[in-house]
Structure 1
Amino acid sequence: MVGIGGRSKACDNCRRRRVKCDQTRPECHKCLRLRLTCGGYPDLTVIQFDGRRAGKPSQPDPVSADEAALIPFNSTSSHESLSLFTAGDEFLLNSEVQLHPEHIFISFTRSRLLQGPDSTNITGVLPRIVDRNLVQKSFLALATTYFGMEHKEKSLVQRGMQQYGHTLEDVHNALSDPSRRTSFDLLQSITIMGFFEFLVSENEHGWINHCLGLERLINLRGPASFTNGPELIVLENARPAIACAALLLHRSTVFSKSEWKTMPWILYPERKNCMQSLIDILVDCPELFVMRDRIIAMSVSDDQASSYRELFRKTTDLLNQLDQWILTWNQLNPDCYHETVPSNTTPVFTSSEGRQTPAWTTTIEYDTSIHANNLTLYNATFILVLKFTYQTALSTDSGLTDQLQVSELYTKMLAAALMVCRSVDYHLRLMRSGASSFFLWFSLRMAYDALGRSNPVIGAWIRNVLQEVHNGNVGRWAIARYLLDIPPPGNEATSQAESQQNAGSPVLWLEGDKWADS
């Protein structure tokens, strides 16, 4: 039988991992052999939407088999192997719904936006009695707005924004109610609304505010409350964004405490994988800026010199942890990527004679998106710690500049930034298929700070990539508009020291100090 063009017949897991599937039913042998959750096979889904406003529905009838077939979901599930949670799955699977535009918006959002390993469902984990009122409202606001944006339906965008505003009021009411403050419904709804801010909102403060509120709520619940599967998945998804908000605000995060790195995984130790170990390092990074701010506020004294030595011991420890992480990763994942010829979008340097040379001669292709996300986040975190160490060493009289071998740090930083840039084409292809892209945003910003600010060709290329994303040509994320406008870490003294250190270098350093309280 001739298949449908552009539609994979692979099982859910093989399709997400982008590997060949043997298509054995009910579960493929490849997944069974690797002890993975197969996820089943997709059914044909055809949904049409003519853009007309739906009339007020009468009393809904039970969903017919034909109507239910139009709402795609995986019929298989596993309680033993949990994956990342998608709110839309629970909405569809645990609600008796009548097919109308709202359900089309939800299905469209799941199929176009919530794809990839960051969006695998955990069908059947939550019992039906769990209150999902806020989750349903927040996800419907997201889905309605996203559908309207993709189809250029301004009325739908406005409706989604209104739904978002009403849900925000409901969330505030729940936060003031002690009986609801620690509910899973509230926890997950705030997570979805933070996702809304990344995707839709042009307000660059929105996602930071949501991250701060989510962190306070998580801390209120305590680490022991996240040992169950659904709560653990929310925690895993929340940690990177909350760490980035803490970096911007120069404040420590609760996740740097040892109990938050161990207790939530006590029932699911297999989920403490390379990615989670890497995030354990990332959540310690905000403390570097807290320590440096505290030292700068001191009067010049022996205590200040001693504090700088302690700060550099902290940065050295983080760099050693990153070195150990990449060593372990390479042992577990040998040959997880290969180099290929650069695309026609690769930035080009033009000499005074008019000769053109590509900024890099090869791009990176990963075996799976899991490999891509791990290595991209590693390079971004590596840049962050190296840059902090480099800047701080140059701007102080600690006497540790030679000891820290700052020129070597500088070279390593540039190499990590180039790895991020060479991986962008792969990530953009994932985004076109609906995969989430948080790790790309953080990594692109780090690469821009390390390389793009002082190299006009690469800087213009990164800005163009983000413009394509903001315009909807590659995915559609509002954060792409203002990602490069957030002030980077560094201070005036640091910038002057770096300019002197790198005089004549093709790549200069940063301006400004803090990632301000935006």
Structure 2
Amino acid sequence: MVGVAGRSKGCNTCKRRRIKCDERRPKCARCLKAGYKCAGYDRPLQVVLSTPHAAAEGKAKSSGKHTPGPLLHDQQEPNASLILAPFLPLPSKLKDDLQFAFVFQHLVWSSYASPWLQLSASGRLTALAHEAALAFSQSAFGRHHRLREIELSSAARYGRALKQLQTSLQKCNASETADLLVPVLILLMHSCSLYTTEESQVHVRGIHDLLRSCGPKPFQQEPLRAALSSTRATLVTLALIDKRRLFLEDARWREVPWSLAPVEKPAAEELVDMLVFLPGLTQDVEYQSRTTSDLLTTHLTERLVEIFQVLFRWRWAWNSRYPLAAWEEERQAPAVAGWKPAYPGISSRLLRFASPERASDVLLYNTILIMVLGLLRQLSSWVEVELAIKRAIANTQPVEAFARNTALNMPTAGITACTAAMEIARAFDYHLQPQRIQTPALYWLFPLGLAKRTLFADSAWRAFIDHMMETSRRTRGYGSEIMGGAGFGSYILRNCEMGLI
């Protein structure tokens, strides 16, 4: 027989949790309310082997009578009233592939860690990187599916990877130290996913020490250059949270790793070269608020205006290099009588890009714009900030006429934190399309978290951002307040006021 199912009509998730299901379709509301992914109502196919003798014996038992059969028949055909096909153990390699596939399909880390996480998973980097990747994928897979045995195996692998890392640090020279960056990054992702703050801080300190000991030169080739880009994203975000100057603002770290690249430096990396200065400036602005030094205020204002000028020059050059980078499309409304948009305050036109890389550029550009505006606002009045912006635009606007991209905000169109935050949200909406979800992106949650904070007073935009976060399987839960350190608090300037306008 096939298709044998239990008596419960509830969804598979509630059945596994052993709670009563409300049986709503297509998705159980009880699962969605509790934050679980409803697995639906389709039952797995079971194969049951049954013999005629067993069926007859089952009928006899149900009637209370015993029907004796020939002894020879009983010996040749044992009782097989219910024999389920056994579950065959999966080969180890197949298990690993399934767990890695889960990480690459469902976790936001896979965008942050491309391509070095994929290379580690396939064993094409060091043995230590492969061991760390196995531990991370097992942990994520086991936690998601509540498989305690896999979680314990992951913890054992994590411990072995830590011991191997300690041994390698004691034996390797300066050039070999750079190869340890990828394993340490994977171990950091592992500890962050488990919300173990102390272990995560240890790994972050280890990354600081590792980079300082080997310098920027070992990162001139791939995939270590990509790993350094991921590291810059992590360290800059943490330095902004801590309001602490970062050694990555040194010119050597901004130039040497890309000096041998066969192609020009990516536009996003040019933006990060500006972003690395903001932790130190944030620290200086906070110090100025305690000292109220007019000389320091003037110096910091001039420094921020300089960053504005560099940022606007980058924006004009980017527009010249990619004149057709973005456009708008009408949002398709469902053909339902009386339909109204879920978010009436949001633009009815969708923002679309020539490539995911261009969308990432726009995310990061507006992030820097918002932060510099916030720092300027702490130092000066709004009138003075407007004058500083106009001065920066006048010093950077090119004389020659570039093809204007009307789909995006240009520096001359009026600069506010709110318009920049709205453009971040619209660019993020593009990133979440299914065909682009696999694209590497280092700065996803940080820009969107900053945009949400900037638009906090606008209920329509705030709801739109929350909806986007919950729609994607990769970002679901990261915008939730109950996620604590794993939510937006890890990506926006936690415990500090930026003076956003």
Q: Please give the TM-score of this superposition, normalised by the length of structure 2.
A: 0.65
Partner of 1:251: 244
Residue type at the aligned position of 1:442: F
Give CA deviations for 1:114-171 in whole Å, capped at 9, x if unaligned: 877973579999xx9x982320111001222233355554543443344334433443
Tell whether 2:300 aligns with 1:306: no
Misfit runs of 4+, over 6 Å: 50-53, 114-118, 121-125, 489-492
1:284 — aligned with what? 277
Q: Indicate the SS of the match to 1:293.
A: helix
CA distance in structure 2 between the aligned counterparts of 1:390 and 1:51, rounded to whole angstroms = 68
C-alpha distance 119-366 of structure 1, shift in aligned 2 (>3 A): same
Do 2:119 and 2:125's aligned partners in 1 also have CA atoms closer than 8 Å?
A: no
The residue aligned with 2:355 is: 368
Q: 1:461 to 1:356 in 2, by over 3 A?
A: closer
Q: Does 1:429 align with 2:433?
A: yes
2:344: which partner in 1? 357
Q: Is the 8 A contact 1:292 1:311 kept in 2?
A: yes
Deviations 1:459-490 (A, max 9, x none): 24333443455xxx445676863433367479
Q: How does 1:46-445 map to 2 (within 5 A)?
A: 54=89, 99-110=93-104, 119-120=114-115, 132-149=126-143, 151=145, 153-175=147-169, 179=173, 182-197=176-191, 200-203=193-196, 210-268=203-261, 270-298=263-291, 300=292, 304-342=293-331, 357-394=344-381, 400=384, 403-404=387-388, 411-430=415-434, 433-445=437-449
Conserved? CA contact 1:223–1:259, under 8 Å: yes
C-alpha deviation, 1:187, in angstroms: 1.4
Match of 2:238, as an amino acid?
A
Deviation (angstroms), 1:214:
1.5
Closer, same or farther: CA 294–116 of 1 in aligned 2, 3 Å:
closer
* Alignment-derived partner of residue 463 in structure 1: 466
C-alpha contact (below 8 Å) 1:115/1:435 kept by paired residues: no
* Partner-residue secondary structure (3-state), 1:228: coil
State the Cα distance separating 1:404 from its structure 2 match.
3.5
Change (3 A) 1:433 1:264: closer
SS in 2 for 1:359: coil
* Cα deviation digits, residues 241-270 of structure 1 (max 9, x gap): 211111111111121111111112222152
Q: 1:281 to 1:273 in 2, by over 3 A?
A: same
Q: Where do 5+ consecutive residues of structure 2 fail to align?
A: 1-84, 335-340, 391-411
Q: Which residue of 2 aligns with 1:17?
A: none
Distance 1:192 1:476, change over 3 A: farther
Q: How does 1:477-492 map to 2 (within 5 A)?
A: 481-482=483-484, 483-485=487-489, 488=493
Question: Structure 1 residues 417 and 431, CA, compared in 2 at 3 Å: closer, same or farther?
Answer: farther
User: What's the offset of the Cα at 1:197?
Assistant: 4.8
SS of residue matched to 2:344:
strand
Give SS of 1:267's match: coil
Distance (Å, rounded) in 2 between the aligned partners of 1:51 and 1:291: 66
Alignment of 1:14-53 (within 5 A): none
Shift of 1:371: 1.1
Mapped partners of 1:111, 1:488: distance in 2: 28
What amino acid is the match of 2:465?
A: I
2:239–2:245 CA contact under 8 A, matched in 1: yes
What's the CA shift for 1:240? Answer: 1.7
- Which amino acid letter does the alignment assign opposite residue 165 of structure 2? V
Kindly indicate whether residue 441 of structure 2 is the aligned counterpart of residue 446 of structure 1. Answer: no
CA distance in 2, matches of 1:231, 1:320: 31
Please give the root-mean-square deviation of Cα atoms over the aligned residues, in Å.
Answer: 4.2
SS of aligned partner of 1:357: coil
Where 2:194 maps in the other structure, the secondary structure is: coil
| TM-score normalized by the length of structure 1 | 0.63
**Is the Cα contact below 8 Å between 1:275 and 1:374 reproduced in 2?**
yes
Distance 1:162 1:240, change over 3 A: same
Unmatched 5+ residue regions in structure 1? 1-49, 58-97, 346-353, 496-508, 511-518
Larger radius of gyration: 2
Q: CA deviation at 1:52?
A: 6.5
Distance 1:223-1:283 versus aligned 2 partners, 3 A rule: same
Q: Is the 8 A contact 1:393 1:401 kept in 2?
A: yes
CA contact (8 A) 1:362 1:422 kept: no
Give the count of matched residue pairs: 383
CA distance in 2, matches of 1:205, 1:430: 35
- Any conservation in 1 of the 2:285–2:300 contact (CA below 8 Å)? yes
* Change over 3 Å in CA distance of 1:335–1:184 after alignment to 2: same
CA, structure 1 residues 427+208, in 2 after alignment: closer, same or farther (shift >3 Å)? farther
1: CA distance between counterparts of 2:116 and 2:175?
25
1:174: Cα distance to partner?
3.9
Q: How far has the Cα of 1:382 moved from its partner? A: 1.4
